[in-house]
Amino acid sequence: RKEVEQDPGPFNVPEGATVAFNCTYSNSASQSFFWYRQDCRKEPKLLMSVYSSGNEDGRFTAQLNRASQYISLLIRDSKLSDSATYLCVVTRAGRRALTFGSGTRLQVQP
């Protein structure tokens, strides 16, 4: 079983739609949680951190449920420029590596 699992998509949505991605992680010792964005095989870039209390940054909201080992990302009012692959990332206590999910592809259509 992969340590971080994501639905690969693609999610095809019209501009202005609200879309949600989910991610599950298997290691209960996971310590920190993030969403990264990757454009067309370019380098991943940090989108936002994820906290149990929830984290909002403009149109993006991230949520962590430690009991269910589940992370979500909500994008409101989708823009064409949001088209990308969204990577769910966790770290383990005492281990400095980032553990990546394989990503969920989003395609926003005009």
Partner 1 sequence: EAQVTQNPRYLITVTGKKLTVTCSQNMNHEYMSWYRQDPGLGLRQIYYSMNVEVTDKGDVPEGYKVSRKEKRNFPLILESPSPNQTSLYFCASSYLGNTDTQYFGPGTRLTVL
Which lies closer to partner 1 via its Cβ, residue 52 or residue 109? 52
CB atoms within 10 A of CB 28: 9
Query: How far apart are the C-alpha atoms of 53 and 5, rounded to whole Å?
Result: 22
Q: Does residue 34 interact with partner 1 by CB under 8 A?
A: yes
- The nearest distance, CB 52 to partner 1, in angstroms, is 16
Q: Which residues pair with 22 in a beta bridge?
A: 72
Which lies closer to partner 1 via its Cβ, residue 42 or residue 66? 42
- The nearest distance, CB 102 to partner 1, in angstroms, is 4
Return the residue of 42, 59, 66, 79 that touches partner 1, per CB under 8 A: 42
* Total number of residues that touch partner 1 (CB under 8 A): 21
DSSP assignments along 62-98, one per residue: EEEETTTTEEEEEE-S--GGG-EEEEEEEEETT----
